[in-house]
Amino acid sequence: MKKILLSLCFIAAFIPCLALSVVAEDVVTIGIYQEPETLNSHIGVQTVVTYVHKPFAEYLIDVNEKGEYYPVLAKEVPSVENGGVSADGLTITYKLKEGVKWSDGEPFTSADVKFTWEAIMNEKNLVKSRSGYDLMESVETPDDYTVVVKYKEFYAPYLTRFSPVLPKHILGDLPDMNDAPYNRIPVGTGPFRVTNWVSGDHIEMEKNPYYREADKVKLDKVFFKIIPSREVGIAQINAGDIDCVWDLIEAQIPEMEKNPEITLCLASALTSERLILNFSTPVPPNNGNPDYPHPILADLKVRQAIQYAIDRQLIVDKLLYGKAKVTAVEIPDGWAANHDIIPTEYDPEKAVQLLEEAGWKVGADGIREKDGIKMRLKIATTSGNQLREQVEQVLVAMMKKVGIDMYIENVPSSVFFGSWANDADRKKGRYDIMMYTTGPGIDPQEQFSGYFHSKSIPTEANGGAGFNYTRHRDAELDQYIDLAGSSPSMEVRAEAYRKAQARIAEILPHIYLYRRLNVDAFRSHVKGWTVSGYGIIDAVSTWDIANWYLEK
């Protein structure tokens, strides 16, 4: 017994020394109020997927805070001047960086780039978009560090492809990647690697030991904590329980500015909150089929009436504390903006006039009806988003004033933004009106082609690819989008986008509410991040997470 006690005392005497020898890890905990449905961004459509994948996934070419392209896995940005782009723009040559490894230690080569194209074009893979990749005639790999992409026709936003690159050695032998383990614990070439994902709780990453500049990475771990809502995130960052909270809203800026321990990352985004209106019937078995029009929303006058019935400035002033701007266009600024399109004024009398002209008469209960159909419309968005829920309530009240019965039915983000395979209402066309934020990346072609071209209507035949959830078909709009995507001239492209936006304003598949700010909050001891409103896919503050560090 004495020997045991002596041993315990001996050990106890050294505990303080042992404790001093433990090296504390630099860990940043980030609160995210959406849980990704996948970490494979070629399949996942949620904004949070891009935010979480940036620490481990890399592109051939990316965009910096100035909106400039810069090489990541490529040695340089291909151009006519450096021989990377042929005179006709149909052949793009990428010279890859040598010595790059995947986070499992396997070498990154040109074979991975070619496989990425093959995987995206594999009809069994339920990818969110094949835009641009479907115009590639071939992807050749003359050696391990050279990729030659040959296009069938000129594709203007060619620099935005291969974002990110997929690992052939992980996914190459699978018939499809839809349910691959990679989608939860992916392998990447970025500064961090995913080590654990506990559903409903957290996603954990650690410094990637195979990262080519691992010595420059200051953080040891990144911990994405899945939280119920933005409001919970605010409470936790104020209490110091987390270091960062993702995707706050403009209305929360005044509250956050009161805390001297908080620094806000504010970036003017190219995205906007909008209503997306279904042109096709939402009722099975013909739901989502544009040959079967929506009994209410297929009428242009009804869509115009809804727009006139919305007081967008009131929403911005009262719910967003004036921190946002009312908008009516897909491209709010920059080289392809159309500043001639002005948001319609709030005019409920005009709304009533249009509804009357369309044959919708007010019934005994104050709700309009036509041919025995009540003017009842469901609006849906992501649950747990307080601002959106407040906006919905305001919209319901505004619609009621003109005789439209609008009701709310929200679902979790993973369900709302679900895939075709997951039978999501958005993909299958089982909805009336949806409300969420989207917008173009650094090059607007994929956004216009995906959301507004008739070829991008999700169907069984195309595996649900494309974002034309409104199911509109407009030959004039298609013509402008095709021209913008096929011309080498930036002037021609810009004019085509301006005309496309004017046409969108005429046919109203979307009703724009306000332009977004990207708002993330950091505890003041988190340093090294850079504000950027640009991105190939989305603008996210994790784009330069390799530079983050903790101030001691």
Predicted confidence at residue 58, as pLDDT, reads 98
Confidence of residue 345 (pLDDT cuts 50, 70, 90): very high
Q: Which residues pair with 368 in a beta bridge?
A: 362
Residue 11 pLDDT > 50: no
Question: Does 217 share its domain with 92?
Answer: no
- Exposed e or buried b per residue across 345-376, where buried means at least 16 C-beta atoms within 10 angstroms of its C-beta: ebbbebbbebbeebebeeeeeebbbbeeeebe
In a domain, 8, yes or no: no
- Exposed e or buried b per residue across 386-402, where buried means at least 16 C-beta atoms within 10 angstroms of its C-beta: ebbebbbeebbebbeeb
In a domain, 184, yes or no: no
CATH code for the domain of 541: 3.40.190.10
Question: Does 250 share its domain with 101?
Answer: no
Portion of the chain with pLDDT greater than 70, in percent = 96
Predicted confidence at residue 292, as pLDDT, reads 98
- 32-61 pLDDT per residue, tens: 999 999 999 999 988 899 999 999 999 999
Predicted confidence at residue 379, as pLDDT, reads 98
In a domain, 176, yes or no: no
Predicted confidence at residue 14, as pLDDT, reads 42
CA–CA separation, 121 vs 134, rounded Å? 7
Choose among 46, 70, 47, 66: nearest CA to 58.
Answer: 70
Choose among 438, 387, 443, 444: nearest CA to 410.
Answer: 387
In a domain, 178, yes or no: no
User: Does residue 186 have a cis bond before it (omega within 30 degrees)?
Assistant: no
In a domain, 173, yes or no: no
Give yes or no for a contact between 156 and 443, defined as CB atoms under 8 angstroms apart: yes
Mean pLDDT calculated for residue range 393-414: 96
Question: Does 315 share its domain with 206?
Answer: no
Question: Does 424 share its domain with 280?
Answer: yes
Residue 19 pLDDT > 60: no
Question: Does 246 share its domain with 277?
Answer: no
Confidence of residue 15 (pLDDT cuts 50, 70, 90): very low
Question: Does 354 share its domain with 480?
Answer: yes
Question: Does 511 share its domain with 385?
Answer: yes
The domain total for the chain is: 3
Question: Does 65 share its domain with 214?
Answer: no
Give whichever of 17-31, 66-80, 209-223, 435-449 has the largest mean pLDDT: 209-223
Provide the sign of the torsion angle of the four alpha carbons 198, 200, 206, 212, taken in this order: positive
Predicted confidence at residue 23, as pLDDT, reads 59
Place of tokens 């933005």: 230
Angle at 542 between CA 541 and CA 546, to 5 degrees: 130
Mean pLDDT calculated for residue range 152-172: 95
Strand order in the sheet with 361-362: 361-362, 368-370, 373-374
Mean pLDDT calculated for residue range 367-373: 96
Question: Does 43 share its domain with 81?
Answer: no
Predicted confidence at residue 13, as pLDDT, reads 44
Mean pLDDT calculated for residue range 420-425: 92
Residue 331 pLDDT > 70: yes
Residue 3 pLDDT > 80: no
Among 102, 136, 168, the domain-final residue is 168
Portion of the chain with pLDDT greater than 90, in percent = 81
Question: Does 51 share its domain with 64?
Answer: no
Residue 16 pLDDT > 50: no
Residue 4 pLDDT > 60: no
Predicted confidence at residue 235, as pLDDT, reads 97
**In the chain, what are the helix, strand and coil shares in percent, each to the nearest 5?**
30, 20, 45
Question: Does 84 share its domain with 43?
Answer: no
Residue 513 pLDDT > 60: yes
In a domain, 10, yes or no: no
Question: Does 141 share its domain with 35?
Answer: no
Confidence of residue 521 (pLDDT cuts 50, 70, 90): very high
Residue 352 pLDDT > 50: yes
Predicted confidence at residue 536, as pLDDT, reads 80
What one-character DSSP code corresponds to residue 321? T
User: Does residue 285 have a cis bond before it (omega within 30 degrees)?
Assistant: yes
In a domain, 3, yes or no: no
* Owning domain of residue 195: 25-57+190-268+518-552
- Average pLDDT of the chain to the nearest whole number: 93
SS3 of 440-486: the string is CCCCCHHHHHHHHCHHHCCCCCCCCCCCCCCCCCCHHHHHHHHHHHH
Predicted confidence at residue 2, as pLDDT, reads 34
CATH code for the domain of 85: 3.90.76.10
CATH code for the domain of 412: 3.10.105.10
CA–CA separation, 470 vs 69, rounded Å? 32
HSE-CB of 520 using CA atoms within 13 angstroms? 27
In a domain, 275, yes or no: yes
Residue 333 pLDDT > 90: no
Cβ–Cβ contacts within 10 Å for residue 3, how many?
7
Among 168, 198, 223, the domain-final residue is 168
